[in-house]
């Protein structure tokens, strides 16, 4: 799959999550919180994974990436999930040469998720303010 040709929905899409939760005001408030919590840590987890990789602590890096993949994956970020899995697998298999490129790709995908999620929050969080 070419990341460049993937639709925006593969970057960030919480439509299904909203649907499952009832697509009402309460669901919107919950999803706004999930999105905020998901992107709240920013790139810090990725920085920690990068440090672990530089220190040769591949299992630690994989653990951090696995947790990050779970929280960002909740946001419908299919491209991020695929990029994270590719890096996790390279770490597991010790494919050292591929790791920098895969890490850079993952970093780009995380930035896209944050950009799209931030734009979504700008559009929807005003409607989800507690009354």
Q: Count CB atoms within 10 A of the CB of residue 52.
A: 19
Express as a percent the part of the chain with pLDDT over 90: 82
Which parts of the chain fold into alpha helices (H)? Answer: 15-20, 25-39, 44-54, 58-73, 78-93, 99-124
Label residues 70-102 b or e (16+ Cβ within 10 Å = b): ebbbebbbbbbbbbbbbbbebbeeeeeeebeeb
pLDDT number for residue 130: 43
User: In this predicted structure, what is the pLDDT of residue 8?
Assistant: 75
Specify the pTM: 0.87
Residue 128 binned pLDDT confidence (cut-offs 50, 70, 90): low
Average pLDDT on 43-72 reads 97
Average pLDDT over residues 5-22: 84
For the segment 94-113, the average pLDDT, to the nearest whole number, is 97
Predicted pLDDT at 125: 78
Q: What is the band of 6 on the pLDDT scale with cuts at 50, 70, 90?
A: low
d(C-alpha 109, C-alpha 129), whole Å: 29
Q: How confident is the model at residue 3 (pLDDT cuts 50, 70, 90)?
A: very low
Per-residue pLDDT band for 9 (boundaries 50, 70, 90) equals: confident
């Amino acid at each position: 799959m070419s990341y460049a040709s993937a639709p925006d929905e593969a970057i960030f899409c919480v439509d299904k999550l909203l649907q499952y939760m009832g697509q009402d005001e309460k669901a919107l408030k919950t999803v706004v919180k999930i999105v905020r919590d998901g992107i709240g840590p920013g790139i810090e987890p990725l920085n920690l994974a990068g440090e672990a990789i530089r220190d040769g602590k591949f299992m630690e890096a994989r653990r951090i990436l696995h947790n990050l993949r779970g929280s960002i994956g909740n946001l419908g970020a299919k491209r991020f999930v695929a990029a994270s899995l590719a890096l996790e697998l390279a770490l597991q298999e010790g494919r050292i040469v591929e790791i920098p490129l895969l890490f850079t790709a993952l970093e780009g995908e995380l930035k896209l998720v944050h950009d799209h999620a931030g734009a979504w929050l700008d559009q929807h969080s005003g409607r989800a303010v507690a009354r």
